[in-house]
Amino acid sequence: MAKDKDTTRRVTLTNDFHHSAVTLMVGEDGKLNPGQVRRARRALCGISGCTCAGNLGERGPQAEAAPNDDGTQLEFRNAETGEWSHQ
């Protein structure tokens, strides 16, 4: 069965300290599974004890999405208005 409302989007998170980036596929709710969280952290910083970054390893202004307080869910930025969606 087709899931009309469950569109998946592709978002890129960046770390402007290590100049790294990771692309994640997430649903409309922005929820991340533990594997995605690990992958993002490893790709963006991955240095044990490094305090450069936020909960997902992101750092600096994010163009598309940013994680919530515990790093398990993303808020999306509207590319046209620049506003953030708050779940």
What residues make contact with Zn ion under the rule CB under 5 A?
A: 45, 47, 50, 52
**Cβ pair 27, 65 in contact under 8 A:** no
State the minimum distance, in angstroms, from the CB of residue 44 to Zn ion.
8
**Cβ pair 53, 15 in contact under 8 A:** yes
**Between 25 and 50, CB nearer to Zn ion:** 50
**Between 32 and 43, CB nearer to Zn ion:** 43
- Amino acid 50 reads C
Distance of CA 56 to the CA centre of its chain: 7
State the minimum distance, in angstroms, from the CB of residue 36 to Zn ion.
19
